[in-house]
């Protein structure tokens, strides 16, 4: 195998493979964790990289990377470390380089100054990318920037707790003119819903779960490519050939496949919370929440117990929400609400929740935005042991102001909902 390419462009084209194997695989005893197989043909280089959870197949050619300057002298296949390859390319002065393989070693030589030379080992075993089932379960084409925007908006809310593994994923739902991204940690969830006429093409409703482990890789790769839209397919498992269910992203002559999505099928449906009819709807400014969040932060200083809850009570006469931390150090903060829009049922409805949710709520929005806080009075279930009693309360739902993008003709809705606590 022997070819010449531009070192900078070649390194850029290897980024997806680098992201896939270096960030997602564990080192085995006898070989490094970052192997890729390069297959050089007359007009392109085919790169394969795979781990247990994600794989990528890229076609690197002049048609995709304009400044690549690919010229093949000898066709061939080689498996080597992508880390060595990337570090070698980056350590050379930007110029045309000659990449060749001889006697179990890859040589990279700068054509500008042939004294710049790098060499590293090859491996006999080729990278194997798992096959694909035949039946396409779900399929859509979505605007790349919209998809990336949605992931970035909810990324902070992904579950970190491994004992709640079924929540360690992002749920992507789509239907005509609407893409919805949601994730949560079992107690607090966020939803980013983007509506727009030309953001996606799909035949019916779509629901896919993307494991948390591969999301950084997807984010990185999607932010590097320049395609306008990406195609996403969910392929059914093929039991006969031992091929698991997988999600396939296709763009820029690149195919990114994800496996291990089965455990996330139990992620609960959130649509009923979006449409739930609450007794109390409170409209208030986000500025007031910032003071409350800072007050909560103060009470955490001397609070030895790791459980930190706060109570939120409505004082209808003063048109205020009173946020009070349930701790030794006291922090009471009023948040004024707009009584013209607000609807309240009962004398002084209240709820209690993890203080961290209220702090997050304050950080999720810009200054002086109007928040809609919907909740049920928690007193209705106090001392109630009925198994369905908890359903009477439901989570607290906070709707943030819609953000419209006139240039793209989209409207973005952001919702957070979180569980209340008896503690």
Partner 1 sequence: MKQRIFVLEGNYRDRRAVLEKMKRSLKNFETFVFDRRNKLSFVISFITEISCFPTPRLVILREMPAVTARDDTARRAKCMKAFQEAIPKVPGNNIIVFNNLGLRSEAMLKKVRERGKVFKFPSSLKGEEARHRIMTRFKAQDREINLDAADFMVEGLKQSASEVNVDKLDMLVHKLMNYVGKKKTIRLADVREVCSQDEDFIVWDLFSQFDKKELCAALRGLQSYFSIEKEVPKRAIPLLNQMISRYKLVLMVKDAKERGLSEKEIKAEIGNIKKLTRSGKSQQIRKTVMMKGKDPVPQWSGGMVNSITEGWFTDPVKSYSFDNLLLIDYALRKMEIRIRSGCSIPEILMAFEFVAMVMCEKLTKIEILDVLESRQLLSLEEHYEYIK
User: Residues in the site for partner 1, rule: CB under 8 A?
Assistant: 161-164, 166, 184, 186-187, 189, 266, 268, 272-273, 305-307, 354, 381, 384-391, 393-395, 417-423
| Separation between Cα atoms, residue 386 and residue 405, nearest integer Å | 46
Looking at beta carbons only, is 226 or 423 nearer to partner 1? 423
Phi, psi (5° rounding) for residue 189? Answer: -125, 150
Looking at beta carbons only, is 18 or 351 nearer to partner 1? 351
3: number of Cβ within 10 Å: 21
Least distance CB 170 / partner 1 (angstroms): 17
Reading the block at residue 160, the tokens are: 């970190």
Determine the Cα angle at 149 with ends 147 and 155, to 5°: 100
Question: Which helix (H) or strand (E) covers residue 57, if one does?
Answer: strand 54-60
Phi, psi (5° rounding) for residue 117? Answer: -140, 140
- Neighbour-count burial of 337, counting CB atoms closer than 10 A to its CB (0-12 exposed, 13-18 middle, 19+ buried): buried
Least distance CB 272 / partner 1 (angstroms): 8
Least distance CB 220 / partner 1 (angstroms): 29
Looking at beta carbons only, is 76 or 394 nearer to partner 1? 394
Least distance CB 75 / partner 1 (angstroms): 49
Name every residue whose Cβ is closer than 8 Å to that of residue 351 and which is 6 or more positions away in sequence.
311, 312, 375, 376, 377, 378, 393, 396, 420
Looking at beta carbons only, is 172 or 417 nearer to partner 1? 417
Least distance CB 292 / partner 1 (angstroms): 20
Looking at beta carbons only, is 8 or 420 nearer to partner 1? 420
Least distance CB 166 / partner 1 (angstroms): 8
Looking at beta carbons only, is 273 or 344 nearer to partner 1? 273
Looking at beta carbons only, is 366 or 423 nearer to partner 1? 423
Reading the block at residue 308, the tokens are: 């930190």
Half-sphere exposure of 100 (CA within 13 A, CB side): 10
Least distance CB 92 / partner 1 (angstroms): 46
Phi, psi (5° rounding) for residue 130? Answer: -60, 145
């Amino acid at each position: 195998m022997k070819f010449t390419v531009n070192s900078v462009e070649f390194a850029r084209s290897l980024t997806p493979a680098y992201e896939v194997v270096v960030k997602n695989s564990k080192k085995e005893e006898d070989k490094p964790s970052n192997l890729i197989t390069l297959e050089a043909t007359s007009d392109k280089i085919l790169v394969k990289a795979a781990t247990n959870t994600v794989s990528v197949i890229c076609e690197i050619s002049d048609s995709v990377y304009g400044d690549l300057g690919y010229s093949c002298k000898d066709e061939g296949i080689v498996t080597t470390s992508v880390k060595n390859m990337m570090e070698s390319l980056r350590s050379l002065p930007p110029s045309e380089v000659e990449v060749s393989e001889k006697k179990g070693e890859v040589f990279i030589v700068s054509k500008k100054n042939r004294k710049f030379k790098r060499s590293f080992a090859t491996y006999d075993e080729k990278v194997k990318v798992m096959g694909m089932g035949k039946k396409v379960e779900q399929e859509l084409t979505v605007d790349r920037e919209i998809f990336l925007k949605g992931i970035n908006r909810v990324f902070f809310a992904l579950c970190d707790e491994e004992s709640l593994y079924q929540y360690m994923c992002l749920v992507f739902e789509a239907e005509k003119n609407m893409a919805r991204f949601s994730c949560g940690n079992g107690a607090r969830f966020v939803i980013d819903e983007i509506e727009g006429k030309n953001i996606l093409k799909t035949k019916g409703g779509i629901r896919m779960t993307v494991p948390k482990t591969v999301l950084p890789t997807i984010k990185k790769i999607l932010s590097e490519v320049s395609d306008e839209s990406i195609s996403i397919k969910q392929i059914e498992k093929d039991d006969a050939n031992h091929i698991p269910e997988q999600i396939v992203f296709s763009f820029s002559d690149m195919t990114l496949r994800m496996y291990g999505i089965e455990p996330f099928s139990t992620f609960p449906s959130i649509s009923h919370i979006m449409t739930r009819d609450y007794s109390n709807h409170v409209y208030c400014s986000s500025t007031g929440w910032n003071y409350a969040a800072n007050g909560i932060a103060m009470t955490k200083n001397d609070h030895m117990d790791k459980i930190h809850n706060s109570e939120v009570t409505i004082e209808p006469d003063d048109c205020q929400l009173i946020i009070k931390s349930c701790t030794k150090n006291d922090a009471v903060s009023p948040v004024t609400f707009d009584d013209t829009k607000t609807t309240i049922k009962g004398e002084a409805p209240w709820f209690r929740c993890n203080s961290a949710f209220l702090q997050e709520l304050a950080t999720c929005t810009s200054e002086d935005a109007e928040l809609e806080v919907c909740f049920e009075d928690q007193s209705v279930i106090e001392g109630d042991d009925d198994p369905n009693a908890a359903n009477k309360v439901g989570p607290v739902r906070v709707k943030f102001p819609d953000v419209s993008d006139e240039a793209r003709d989209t409207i973005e809705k952001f919702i957070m909902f979180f569980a209340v606590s008896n503690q």
